[in-house]
Chains A and B, each alone.
Chain A
């Protein structure tokens, strides 16, 4: 496996340009995912057909769900003369044939390079009464799929959120970040458990994890309702989960409707979940219910009971910054050593935040990289190996080549099902992470040990 990579690690200046085995993809897929989190929305890809097709495939492979989206079907002519005609035709046809409540358009590197002016085109388009067309600029040559998710979230706010000028309602907006529907559901449950009403968007619950009921709904029951998104301008505060995915949208809502945003991590791990709970407690003056106290206590109990199964083990973590940051924090809580931490998404603060966490934990000799790739991670592992890999499906090749177990967390996970329904967030998510990590290490121990060391009780 990966025999083509040099046996010995290559010097760090050997690979300085481009990406080899990336840990990011392009903006539009994130924008498409965010748009699917609006009820009755058809995402629209303004570019070549291939973009739309590739993004739909990536989402369907991860979620095992339909990912509906239309395309402007650019040809060479449109690329030369601009895509306005294609987009106007597309908007007309989409409303006539697929009847969405809202079309959320994202651009591509093609339409961005030719400079299509989306607001003007949308203004000129035929939009039926009571329907909406919104857009986000998502040039693929900037940022990553997380940037695209963030840009669409910001687009949703700019187009739809409104403030009626009345006193704010005792209600939280939740911007969940680029996470699975299982996580969105869990975050909302925690806030609801604390007795605080909420509006969450994007909300892909019951869209990208919808039930099989013998009837296909092009627009499944889930997703944030347009009225609720509009009303989010009247909420008391926004819980903005994940700096890369949500902060821009929260800042926009703050500017537009004077709803303060509370920047938080995606609540993965005890500390990040505590932060969320404290933000809700302080923001709304509510008490933390016993049910959450019990859940938290169960996590601490489990950590104490099982720490020797994973404490001191070295881990390589890779994936999206908003997941990797709190995940690394939790690994430190577990007593593990994040040896290598990589994201493909650009942003210097990633390295700063992780390095600070490591420093506070007294962990030395780790390597941290934003805008990295898996080829680089593999080189580091060749220099000094780790006990565990945590990241998306693409890590499976390194896992096999170096015989290191892989715990699958993040996006995309193409080779395992069910995971989009199961949270890694909140206190319950902590239990699931502990279970996945310790079971994986124990399976390895059972697999590798001698017969005489094979034990009944662990």
Chain B
């Protein structure tokens, strides 16, 4: 079957009518000749009973955004499970640095108030307050996050009040996150809640002056497998100073100074665009969507960043580094390209990777024929221009929006951050470089399928239809795909490999993909006795 023959109606044909109607709106076929992206439904409820890959608000808040902050203790307020499952399961690597000693890194620890039945009946505030007291006494952290789970919202524990009292008692920031699992429709709500609290409570509280001519933050990079470290090293070689990654290997002491930088770089648009946007409003900090997954994508991102500062020396150094890295990786990459060329893939990952990895796969001569996000919004598919037209529903209205004003003391015009004229800055904005994300659709192959919140049934059907050579997905689908005889790579954890970013990461990725495609066992599935029978018949 060629890519263009797929019929979306057939894909959902066997669903009950209501489910069919709902699911059809989440699936779009790319039609090059039609021009712009048709509207896709996203960030709306999953129909109950559907085997979705989605997680919850707590997972997005504690699991994704605030958990990786290495020098903060994150206490999960609730029964034991939520803390347990988000303990060391996301591969956000962290290490000591000149500002954060090993004694102040809590990444391998799990803290839970372990609510019992009596706490549900009589309230858990005292327990939480006592646990904060004990944790402060034992560990002396610089700051604490407190994340709530489902029952907390229902029994009405006042997280904010406990946090405030603890803050006064201990003299360190204690930040509450009301990220009960049932809020919103997916992890996405939790990203937003985390963004809001980090913006309100941490960013802007630092008063140190940062050294460096070109200082950036790398937002929406979680340092899975060390991805962030590779990007950071490359940027520093060119001449940038990275104040903080958010939130992979990040530290409270650096996040405080997020507002002191010249430019925010945004890797994962979905999980962190709120902070990027809010910082632009409050401090005037411009932001640039970049992507360090893929050789071509990395080159384009490096050139875009250099253009933002417009320094000839920086531009020249960028080209030198690009040239050097390309020379280092091209021969090895060519070897793997021979194995990968012409192969097709599916990409079902959280928020931005399903888009980012299309670049890297194209570098290897592969094509993504079906791609989807678990918890994206329409703008991640269609581009940010649709944001004003997105209707908010009951679920989105439950997530608070911060309405920020320019800070009277700290706001500076965006062009001044970049030390450029207003005209030049406006030109960059108009060119779509600054403050913009085009979404996944423009990069989809003609006839390819873009699918939101893909569920188990659809995934199985799509595999039957497209027979892809490889599937990029998470742990819940990985072994399903294997049983069907299709190799898969976990794109949340990279199957414990990586880093995959920038030039050398691309080589590691290519090697892993080539191995996944060609591991000898794939040819041994049919036992010899059945092979001979086939030959006989």
**A residues whose Cβ falls under 8 Å from a Cβ of B:** 1-6, 10, 14-22, 24-29, 44, 47-51, 53-58, 60-61, 64-79, 86-87, 89-94, 96-98, 108-110, 113-114, 139-142, 144, 210, 212-217, 344, 375, 394, 397, 414
Contact = CB atoms under 8 A, between A and B. Distances in A.
Interface size class of B (residues with CB under 8 A): 35 or more
A53 B114 contact: no
A25 B130 CA distance: 22
Interface in B34-63: 45-59
Interface string B129-164: 011001101110000000001110111000000000
B419 interface: no
Contacts of B398: 76
7 contacts: A4-B102, A21-B87, A44-B49, A49-B54, A50-B57, A87-B48, A397-B108
Nearest first, the 9 closest Cβ-Cβ pairs linking A and B are: A50-B56, A26-B81, A90-B49, A93-B49, A48-B181, A54-B85, A3-B102, A140-B79, A110-B150
A10 B138 contact: yes
B134 A17 contact: yes
B182 interface: yes
A397 B88 CA distance: 11
A50 B53 CA distance: 9
Most buried by B among A58, A92, A214: A214
B479 interface: yes
Contact of A98 (B51, B105, B180, B485): B51
B456 A68 contact: yes
Interface stretch (B11-19, B296-304, B404-412): B11-19
Contacts of A78: 182
A397 B139 CA distance: 17
Given A66-B476, A73-B48, A79-B182, 10 more contacts: A2-B109, A3-B101, A3-B102, A3-B105, A19-B83, A53-B56, A54-B59, A97-B16, A216-B460, A397-B108
A76 B480 contact: no
Nearest to B108: A397
Contacts of B201: none
Contacts of A216: 460, 480, 483-484
A18 B104 contact: no
Interface of B: 14-16, 19, 45-59, 75, 78-89, 101-106, 108-117, 119-120, 127, 130-131, 134-135, 137-139, 149-151, 153-155, 180-187, 394-395, 398, 456-457, 460, 474-480, 482-485, 525-526
A86 B111 CA distance: 32
Most buried by B among A48, A86, A92, A93: A48
A14 B138 contact: yes
Contacts of B478: 60
A410 B120 CA distance: 30
Contact of A53 (B59, B84, B139): B59
B16 A92 contact: yes
A60 B182 contact: no
Contacts of B155: 113
Contacts of A16: 130, 134
